[in-house]
Structure 1
Amino acid sequence: MFSANRVFTVTQAISRNDLLSQLADSLQADGLVKASFLEGVLAREKIYPTGIYMETHSVAIPHTEFEHVNHTGFAIAINQAGVEFHRTDEPEAVVVPEVVVMMAIAPDCEKVAIIQSLFALLAERERVNDICKMTPEAIAKVFTGAVVTS
């Protein structure tokens, strides 16, 4: 579900839509999502933004409905470029998430359990800082060990 091939470090200025496109393209290249996935993510992001402010840091967890998904999988961006996301709880406000985790969740997976385990992994600033310094292979391994999918 997690692969080093779908872990990116974003260092150059890029738009949020371009970042989301890069993540979605990696999921599609691995056959995990349908061609409609990116459009679904972008449409959902306008109505239900996914930037999450956690007092000491921020993360974003973009996703869309399961009808755009073939198999559960994830793509991750380490956001060193300062890409902004609108906040889930205050859509007019923005955050700069250190980590962006794009979820493609198939209907046979427990979405709530996945989100809870992502929050548990990303809740502490020091842990997020450590993740941001890891190789793509190490990041994929950490997420694989921490995220509950059933």
Structure 2
Amino acid sequence: MNFSEFLHEELIIPKMKANSQEEVFKRLYELLLENGYVKESFLEGIKKREQSFPTGLLLNKYNVALPHTDVEHVLKSAVAVATLSKPIAFKNMANPQQDVNVNIVFMIALNESGGQVKMLQQIVQLIQNDSLLEELMRAESGKEIIKVIKSVSHEN
């Protein structure tokens, strides 16, 4: 399982303008739903899981969120991505009482149990690279975002 195989241009929104976590979730969910990757129950699953298990990660310059939910809400595995035009507050994965201003969201939709841990490990490895995050934030298109991620994920 290679993370970059789950990226599709139609599931990526560069420089998304949003005012809330809810708005980010809804926009990415709509892309996943319209393209046949998830069931209608996916959005509710993401919201519920995020309340119990926050996914904001405090990094160096750019912070990341990795929202995901259970396999029963997913038809085909994929990862929807948004780089945000301005940071949105997410609860910190390590300390749920703390907010993290997130710049990049990777919404993970996997249809096989057990795959999430491997997928999360690959993403966490990628997002520790500050220059990669910088390039993602500068990217103007989904194609460009996929190219940036593939250039790094082949090094691993």
**What is the TM-score when the length of structure 2 is the normalising length?**
0.85
Q: Which amino acid is the alignment partner of residue 144 of structure 2?
A: A
**What is the TM-score when the length of structure 1 is the normalising length?**
0.89
User: In the alignment, does 2:70 pair up with 1:65?
Assistant: yes
Query: CA, structure 1 residues 39+142, in 2 after alignment: closer, same or farther (shift >3 Å)?
Result: same
- Where in structure 1 do 4 or more consecutive aligned residues deviate above 4 Å? 144-148
Partner of 1:141: 147
Deviation of the 1:141 alpha carbon: 3.3
Partner of 1:37: 42
Q: Which amino acid is the alignment partner of residue 63 of structure 2?
A: S
CA distance in 1, matches of 2:153, 2:70: 19
User: In the alignment, does 2:122 pair up with 1:117?
Assistant: yes
Deviation of the 1:83 alpha carbon: 1.0
8 Å Cα contact 1:118/1:147 also seen in 2 = no
CA distance in 1, matches of 2:136, 2:30: 22
Could you list the runs of 5+ residues in structure 2 that have no partner in the other structure? Answer: 1-5
Partner of 2:108: 103
CA distance in 2, matches of 1:138, 1:109: 29
Query: CA, structure 1 residues 95+104, in 2 after alignment: closer, same or farther (shift >3 Å)?
Result: same
- Pairs aligned (count): 148
CA distance in 2, matches of 1:109, 1:137: 28
Deviation of the 1:54 alpha carbon: 2.2
Which has a greater percent of strand? 2
Could you list the runs of 5+ residues in structure 1 that have no partner in the other structure? Answer: none
